Structures are given as C-alpha cells and as structure tokens.
Amino acid sequence: MENSSNQDMNRVFEQLANIKMVEPSDNLYVQTISKMQRQSIIPLFWASVVACLFIVFISAEFSIVLNKKKNNYTDISFVIYKTNNFSYNE
C-alpha cells in the first residue's frame, strides 16, 4: 500500500516539475480594457426593474396614506359603547 501512495506522490511531483510558465499575449491588456469600456456599468434591464419596483412602492405608499385618510379610525371611541343617561335625569 505504501508503494502505491509513493507512486502517486511521485506522479504528482513529476506533474508539478513539468509546469511551464505561460507568457500572455502582447495585446492582452488592450483587449481587457476594450471589453471593460464596451460593457455597461448597470445593464438597462436591471435599471428598468428597479424603476418599476420604485414606482410600485411609491404608488402603494400613496394608496395606504389615502386609505388612512378616508377611514379615520385612529380613535377607538367608536368601539366602546357609551351610555346616555340624559333622559333619566329630566
């Protein structure tokens, strides 16, 4: 068993010894810069998605505010029954 592991390690060391340094092409920097300049920072699709979500949230906010103004139930006095004893005291 040790023999097979030694063979595996020797094979790995041979592969590591055969690694050669790769030289990049001369125009690699120019190609990279040109691709970066062609690419838009934020794609138009995502900008439109964000704009639509913004409009939806703003319209939901306005509808909530308008519904609260119509139904002015901030006072809980309409829940509590108040007895009226004016007719008994006359």
Q: What is the pLDDT of residues 12-25, one digit of tens each?
A: 999 998 888 888 88
Q: Is 69 helix (H, G, I), strand (E, B) or coil?
A: helix
- Identify the weakest region by mean pLDDT among 23-27, 47-51, 58-62, 84-88: 84-88
pLDDT for the residue numbered 85? 64
Pick the more confident residue, 67 or 54. 54
pLDDT for the residue numbered 52? 97
Residue that the structure tokens 């990279």 belong to = 32
pLDDT band at 79 (very low <50, low <70, confident <90, very high): low
In the chain, where the domains are located:
2-78
pLDDT for the residue numbered 90? 52
Considering all CA atoms of the chain, what is the largest pairwise distance in Å, rounded to the nearest integer? Answer: 115
CA gap 51, 57 in Å, rounded? 10
